[in-house]
Structure 1
Amino acid sequence: MSQTWSILTAITLLAVQLCIGEKSCFIWSSAGPVVQRDTSFTVYCTFNFKCKKSMRSGQPPTLQRHIDLNSTTIYFNVVNITTDRTYSCECDTSKEPTKPDSCGMDISAGYQPDRPKNISCIYEVKNNESGVVFCSWNRGRDTYLGNSSVLWVRTSSGNHTGGPHSFPRKGTDLPSVSFSVPSSVQLISVWVQTQNKLGHAVSSIINYTLSDIAMPSAPVLGKPKCSSRECIIEVEQSVRTQHLEIQYKAAGQAWTSYRDQSVQTSAVQNRSISSLKPYRFYYLRARSKFSTGLWSLWSTNISSWTQEEAPAKQLDVWFAASDLKSQRVYWKEENVSISRGKITEYKVRVYSPDSGLNSITNFSSDARNYSLSNCANCEVTVWARNSKGLSPPATITARHTKAQASQDAQVTAGGHNVTISWRKAETTPPPTVYVVEWYPEGHKLEELRWVRLEGNDNHVVITDIKPYECYEGAVYAFYNENPVSRTMFAGVTTVMSAPTAAPSFEEKVEGHTVRVTWSELPRSQRGGCITNYTIYLENDSGNQEPYSAPASERMYVIKDLSPGVYSLWMTASTAKGEGPADQKLKIFIQEETPLFLLLVFVFILLIALVVLCLCQSSSVKQKFLVSFKCLMLDDVPDPRNSKWAKECTQEKGKMNLQLQLSNTSITEEEEEPILVDVEELPKQNSDVSKPTNVSSQLLPQISLSPKTEPTTPLYPLTTYIKSFSHDSDSSDHTQTSLDTNTTVDYISSHRMGSMEEGEDQEEEEEFAEMLGFFPTHNVFTEPLSFGGKLTLDAVKIDCSGFFQNS
């Protein structure tokens, strides 16, 4: 029978192993599954098979260096464990087709519980029959093992003692317990017991008198009813109390307490909170207390606005002007303590005693300034209006910039704040008000800020200074509304850097001078206050020459540059350093023509233009040619050596002048006649009268015999005319007059034929002897009516009469 049972047991175990898998080992710890932190112990593994043994620990599992105890058991020494750990053992059999299951063990590490301390209990009275006791304690350090705590209570009412009663701490992290007690209980005794897998601990016993820890429930407040300076609230309590405290505060302010110690006669009572301010949003809360015991918890906050009142004070008004045409009056949005309501509009009146202007303009509640035009001494008054009325008037006269300048203000920058300090004005009477204004450099009208101070102040801390921004401003001292002094300051900045860009500039080359103009850097690129601008000029040899300009300048002139090619660029600098150079421009300085040569060239050009215009007229052209020929006296041949003059001297008794009216023998190839150059010489005989008309006044006929010597000149002395004409076709051709008894002026507009070069020269020499042959006349006053050709190559006359008649 026993043998049969053994067989059945073996079969059962085999079946279980086949179903669940065969265990390869068994693992245990010398300290058990729960150990004390910072302690050491040993983990063992015993294997059921012959295999390669190993032990792992951690997550992910890491192979550990185990020690073989015997052929079936290995172990691993754990030193100073600090956290929960998992250990596992594995058996590796190469002969088996499947790997046996490994075995493992979880080790929990923690501490024994500390003794609970600082037990505190509060008795909250719900009604006149019962209340709830809330007890809490300090459980000490975390044990990491999930402690369980129990509060034990023993009650006493008169001579009756109850308990102890246990109140286990339920699922909460806070070590606290609450329980109800009847109103008949007067004393309670409490203690706490806590435990975990490593041990347990018990606190000391604490005794309480319930009247000492009694606390009413928090009051319930109804919706308040508020006027401009008072709020009435409804307070509801579950039990009667002897003390009631109400607190109130406006937004952003601290709580203010109001305590009412009147005895409560009913569960619901109204309480009045006075000393409030108009148009404020108030929060209110309340709590109560018995004659002994503890204050209740605060009620839930309630809130409400107080009503408005007309503004209490005048606006803070200031004036700024960049010039007579850019003037502006500013006013601040006052805080609620001054406005005492929501501002609906602003009212501005402008009065000018000079022009009699008196205008009133209404602005919306968003307006903060008013621009004036051509109103140097205007009086501006500003009011603010809310639903209850207008504020007192604030008046300013646009003349405070006429204040006398005083000593410089001291500026101290630190962090993101700037302190402006000044010496009090030594005036009689002393100033009653100081006004400090500041604004970004160059943006006075757009971003003006100011603060008004009492007369005994001598410094102010400005907080709204933007980093990398340059500010300037002034300190004004006023006696009543009259300016006393003005102290300027500039170059104020907190955080600064070198400029991030170069100014945009233009250049203009004027001879050997370069004029550079530039514009301000954008405010975002300045990095603070600009101290100076630097202009760099580099020649083609690579030599650089810097030119520095103050921060207030926008133009610089570089003079006396040598001719050549230059590179030009600019940078801006602050106290932190010099900014980059963005653009480089090429400029060319050329060799300049001397002014004297330029004037001479212009003068010659003007003369040539005048002569060119005059030469378009034939008469002017003829006079010009004659005058030009007169100036060239060396080129005039002597007429006395001409051939014709010699013939006249040989035949003294007779003169043969042939005037050829026409010449039919002139061939078509005959050259065109040329103009006549005329030169007048002074008269040789003043006794001979000068005819005024060549054609009408003819010389008398003169007939001389060879035997008779002439007592008078053969020909009257007259002005000598020199005429250049074409050479005649034949040297034998002579000119005779139509009438031998009439002497005509010897002049021709053209000649016939062409003469040989030698004959022309001989005739010119003979003609030079005939100086007195022609009468004096102005060749340009009357036209010459001769159609024949002159046989002389040149005719010379005195030019003085020509210029006089001209």
Structure 2
Amino acid sequence: MRRLAVLCVLWSVAIAADGLSFQSCANITPQSPAVKLGTNLTAFCFLDQDCLQELGHPITASELFWMVGKTLIPESHYTVINDSVSSVTFEPTLSMHNSLTCSFKAYGQTEVTLHGIYFSVGNPPEKPENLSCICDDAKSLTCTWEPGRDPIIPTKYSLHQYWPEREKEKCEAEAGNNFCTLYYPNFMLYINTAFMVEAENDLGRATSDYVQYDVINIVKPDPPDIVSVSAVLQGVLRIEWKNSMPNLQIKDLKYNLRYRTKDSSEWSEVPGNDLENTRDSFTLQELQPYTTYVISIRCHLINRGFWSEWSKEHTAVTLETAPSRAPEFWRKIRKTDSEEKRAIQLVWKELQSGANGEILGYNVTVKRGPEVVGSYTVTDTTYNITASKDSYEVVLTAYNSQGSSPPSTLIIPPVKDKVVQPPAMKFKVFSQDGQLWVDWTPSSRALGYVIEWCSNSQSVDCSREWQREPSNTGRAFLRGDIKPFVYYLIRLNALQKDGQERSGTLETYLEQGVPELGPKVDTKACGKTWATLVWDPVPLSKQRGFITNYTIKYEASSGPSKVITVNATDREHTLTSLAGKTTYRVTMTANTEKGGKDGPQSGFTTSEFEKGEIEAIVVPSCIGFLLFILVLCVLFCNKKEQIKKHIWPNVPDPSKSNIAQWSPQTPSRHESKRHPFQDGPFTDVSVVEITADEKKSYSDSDLKSMDPTKKNTSAGLSSGIGGSSCLSSPQHSVSDSDGISSAQNTSSTVQYSTVIMGGYQGQTPMFSRSESTQPLLVSEERPDELQQVSEEEADPPTPSQYFKQSFTTEDVGKIPDPLPAAPAQDLSAQILHLAGFSHGHDSLDSTAGQDLNPDSLSQVDVPSDEQKTYLPQNVRQGGYLPQ
């Protein structure tokens, strides 16, 4: 690769060296041609065959190609004249490169340029027109012309002047200029001279028409030099100047003098007839006193030549005179703490054009009728006085070093108890040419008019500017600094002879625009479907125009936006038909006739319930609930016994039963006091069923001698209460006979009873009975528990002691002795007494005189007027079934 790169470099160097040699073997004609724009250029390339043979590269014309810059000219534009000559014809344009080359490809690959030329494209010069000359102060002569169409290519212009029969001097203009200047003495005065301009370039030549002048007639003098301007009398200025052409001794000059005040842009000129004669000074008269004037002058040859330029401006001030105008005078009446006095501020304006000098001060004279109340000398433009309710006349004059001005009179009206307000002054305001105009209808009774105005304030007592107008005027513009987009409150006062005034006010703008900011919206109140919005108006200084209306745009977080328009005077608005529990975004726009401006965005969220809606739901619900509770209470009071029967039945207190006196499980009083329910919560009382046949096997004597406290005293009785006799609750029948008959034919029902040792806190043990007709199991009898019986008697139990579930051997010995035999009528009572039920504790009482049939223990006839009491049935710990 490195060898290949070296070979390429050597090859390029060889080809470049050959190219330099080939350039001497060809030639192109024409050399550097100028081509008229829009025409063709034809060029020829001539080959020197002998030169090419020596270089070892013989070529023919057919191998040549032409290029403009780096652009190849198509072969269709070529013409091969012979082996040594090739030509090309094409139309050059301004966008083409201006080089043309003739080339060939050496060794069939590398381009080699044989020869090249540069060409130019342009236009031939046109005839110069409007040739004119002017002589500046007879020192230089300058002629100008119009060259016509741009020739594009370099063109030479020359000015020729001819005297009769011979040419004098000529001037060549610099490239790009259309004028040429000759300096004295290369031109002659007082001799007719012809002038002509010639234009020439590579494409042609053109000459202008001849013009002929006597140079003295085309002289433009230099402006005169103002020597001095002085004030010689009141209203008189004297101006002196110097001739600008003294060397040429040209005295036939006329002058033009102009002047203006310093604050004005309009010039006044002295008539030409007053300055035609040769002179070097002039006096201006009837000028304003104590006024600064600006003065300028120029000159001209009489009947020939041109006006000179205006001279440098000079200023001067006229002398003072006494003021010619009275100052504008006005007053502002203010109330004081005293009802008999008034504070009056006298105000006036400084004199401008009518001052006629420097104002040194003002004289103020206050009169009450013919009496002079006070006379003051003031250097300021305000003065405060205190006056009574009477009418006053105030006279004001201004003075300078030359005297005093005419007086300005102001009437201060008296204070009347009953004042009839005059009708308001009607007028209109409009803007025109950047000024604010006030237009009204003048009145013959008015002494004058005062226009007051203040900006960015709607108060009549604002700090006001003012101006006074004469009585015969019906229109005036405000002579203050009136700006667009600023609010103005204008008041027009018509002064009457008695000092009273008619007035009227109007609001206006010189020009209205879009407000600078919009109002900020706040939420005053909000409900479920409504919201009240409040806002403050846009500050007056930010309104930039009259607010026509407000636009409220509001939208929910998800949903389309809505727009409503409210009046410009409104300060709050209520939105309706809103969705509950929804957040809204609100934007308010203040609009004028020129457009609107949005205020800052705000938001609010509606309530889930309307005000009072919750109360409307909760209060009736509470009232209904209270009524329901009240009805339940009334029903409870009326049905208390029935409800008590189902919810809280009457349960006897086993602790007060006599059965606790003979229970073998009752602990001795001397025993340690331990919890009565440690051994078990229940003591079972089982009731067995005795058939009719078994009943017959017992005699009355057996029943009478039966010991209910000993085990197996009766074969047909068994007890689940520690071996006590079976306590069978008698079945009630309608009559004794019916009960006996039933007992003989059917088996009696034996009830199972259980004493509950637990229960509600503080409640004594209870019995539970069962209506089951099933016989007791053998295990229920527990005969082995009572085999060993101690002769020792147990202490009688107290009513508050409880039973235990089972007996031990020690307990058997504590069973009390058998009770003595009792009559049959007392047997039932004794059994119940042993069970712990007495007459005082809901025990079953036998009817007096009624015999108890031992053969029918299961049947007892209880009187109907006594309460029927049964042993409690199957009561478990923590609950019981109703009796």
For the aligned pair, the TM-score class normalised by the smaller chain equals 0.5 to 0.7
Rg comparison, structure with higher value: 2
Per-residue deviation, residues 750-791 of structure 1 (Å, max 9, x unmatched): xxxxxxxxxxxxxxxxxxxxxxxxxxxxxxxxxxxxxxxxxx
Tell me whether 1:469 sits opposite 2:469 in the alignment.
no
The answer (yes or no) to whether the contact 2:127–2:147 under 8 Å persists in 1 is yes
The answer (yes or no) to whether the contact 1:413–1:493 under 8 Å persists in 2 is yes
Instruction: Tell me what 2:242 maps to.
Output: 236
Q: Which of 170, 191, 200 is matched with 2:196 structurally?
A: 191
Instruction: Tell me what 1:442 maps to.
Output: 458
Q: How does 1:416-427 map to 2 (within 5 A)?
A: 420-422=438-440, 424-425=441-442, 427=443
| Distance in 2 of aligned mates of 1:116 and 1:537 | 76
> Per the alignment, in what secondary structure is the counterpart of residue 124 of structure 2?
coil
| Distance in 2 of aligned mates of 1:508 and 1:484 | 49
The answer (yes or no) to whether the contact 1:352–1:375 under 8 Å persists in 2 is no
Q: How far does residue 502 in structure 1 lie from its aligned partner after superposition?
A: 0.9
Instruction: Tell me what 1:531 maps to.
Output: 548
Q: Which of 97, 116, 130 is matched with 2:128 structurally?
A: 116
Structure 1: which amino acid aligns with 2:241?
V
Instruction: Tell me what 1:580 maps to.
Output: 598
Q: Which of 276, 280, 283 is matched with 2:287 structurally?
A: 276
Q: Which of 164, 169, 179 is matched with 1:166 structurally?
A: 169
Q: Which of 140, 148, 162 is matched with 1:140 structurally?
A: 148
Structure 2: which amino acid aligns with 1:36?
K
Structure 1: which amino acid aligns with 2:35?
V
| Distance in 2 of aligned mates of 1:145 and 1:474 | 74
> Per the alignment, in what secondary structure is the counterpart of residue 200 of structure 2?
strand
| Distance in 2 of aligned mates of 1:559 and 1:371 | 55
Change (3 A) 1:394 1:210: same
| Distance in 2 of aligned mates of 1:415 and 1:39 | 60
Q: Which of 265, 274, 277 is matched with 1:253 structurally?
A: 265
Q: How far does residue 77 in structure 1 lie from its aligned partner after superposition?
A: 2.2
Q: How far does residue 165 in structure 1 lie from its aligned partner after superposition?
A: 1.1
The answer (yes or no) to whether the contact 2:64–2:86 under 8 Å persists in 1 is no
Q: How far does residue 306 in structure 1 lie from its aligned partner after superposition?
A: 0.8
Q: Which of 327, 346, 353 is matched with 1:315 structurally?
A: 327
The answer (yes or no) to whether the contact 1:410–1:421 under 8 Å persists in 2 is yes
Instruction: Tell me what 2:511 maps to.
Output: 494
Q: How does 1:367-766 map to 2 (within 5 A)?
A: 394=408, 396=410, 404-406=422-424, 408-412=426-430, 420-422=438-440, 424-425=441-442, 427-429=443-445, 433=449, 435=451, 437=453, 439-442=455-458, 448=464, 450=466, 452-453=468-469, 455=471, 457-460=473-476, 466-478=483-495, 485-492=502-509, 494-497=511-514, 500-503=517-520, 507=524, 519-523=536-540, 525-532=542-549, 548=566, 550-551=568-569, 572-576=590-594, 579-582=597-600, 583-584=602-603
Instruction: Tell me what 2:90 maps to.
Output: 77
Structure 1: which amino acid aligns with 2:171?
P
Structure 2: which amino acid aligns with 1:33?
P
Per-residue deviation, residues 388-409 of structure 1 (Å, max 9, x unmatched): 6765555556779998444754
Change (3 A) 1:465 1:253: closer
| Distance in 1 of aligned mates of 2:362 and 2:168 | 77
Q: Which of 201, 206, 218 is matched with 1:201 structurally?
A: 206
Q: How does 1:217-228 map to 2 (within 5 A)?
A: 217-226=222-231
Per-residue deviation, residues 568-622 of structure 1 (Å, max 9, x unmatched): 986544345664342446799965999xxxxxxxxxxxxxxxxxxxxxxxxxxxx
Q: Which of 177, 180, 187 is matched with 1:176 structurally?
A: 180
> Per the alignment, in what secondary structure is the counterpart of residue 354 of structure 2?
helix
Q: Which moved more, 1:500-509 or 1:34-43?
A: 500-509
Change (3 A) 1:394 1:201: same
Change (3 A) 1:432 1:504: same
Q: How far does residue 46 in structure 1 lie from its aligned partner after superposition?
A: 7.3
Q: How far does residue 526 in structure 1 lie from its aligned partner after superposition?
A: 2.0
Per-residue deviation, residues 520-554 of structure 1 (Å, max 9, x unmatched): 42346424112356789999999999795653x7x
Tell me whether 1:150 sits opposite 2:166 in the alignment.
no
| Distance in 2 of aligned mates of 1:456 and 1:472 | 24
Q: What RMSD over aligned residues (CA atoms) do the two structures have, in Å?
A: 5.9
The percent of aligned pairs where both chains have the same amino acid is 18
Per-residue deviation, residues 678-700 of structure 1 (Å, max 9, x unmatched): xxxxxxxxxxxxxxxxxxxxxxx
> Per the alignment, in what secondary structure is the counterpart of residue 23 of structure 1?
helix
> Per the alignment, in what secondary structure is the counterpart of residue 491 of structure 2?
strand
| Distance in 2 of aligned mates of 1:203 and 1:587 | 93
Structure 1: which amino acid aligns with 2:354?
I
Change (3 A) 1:32 1:359: same
The answer (yes or no) to whether the contact 1:86–1:104 under 8 Å persists in 2 is no
Per-residue deviation, residues 184-215 of structure 1 (Å, max 9, x unmatched): 84433333333222222233333334564456
The answer (yes or no) to whether the contact 1:503–1:571 under 8 Å persists in 2 is no
Structure 1: which amino acid aligns with 2:150?
D
| Distance in 2 of aligned mates of 1:402 and 1:35 | 100
Instruction: Tell me what 1:301 maps to.
Output: 312
The answer (yes or no) to whether the contact 1:408–1:489 under 8 Å persists in 2 is no
Q: How far does residue 414 in structure 1 lie from its aligned partner after superposition?
A: 6.9
Per-residue deviation, residues 480-531 of structure 1 (Å, max 9, x unmatched): 795664343225453323563214769599xxx9998754423464241123
Structure 2: which 5+ runs fail to align? 1-13, 338-342, 616-883
| Distance in 2 of aligned mates of 1:540 and 1:84 | 67
Structure 2: which amino acid aligns with 1:163?
R
Structure 1: which 5+ runs fail to align? 1-13, 156-160, 595-806
The answer (yes or no) to whether the contact 1:503–1:572 under 8 Å persists in 2 is no
Q: How far does residue 222 in structure 1 lie from its aligned partner after superposition?
A: 1.4
| Distance in 2 of aligned mates of 1:83 and 1:33 | 17
Q: How far does residue 102 in structure 1 lie from its aligned partner after superposition?
A: 8.0
Q: How far does residue 458 in structure 1 lie from its aligned partner after superposition?
A: 4.2
Change (3 A) 1:372 1:36: farther
The answer (yes or no) to whether the contact 1:281–1:303 under 8 Å persists in 2 is no
| Distance in 2 of aligned mates of 1:503 and 1:348 | 54
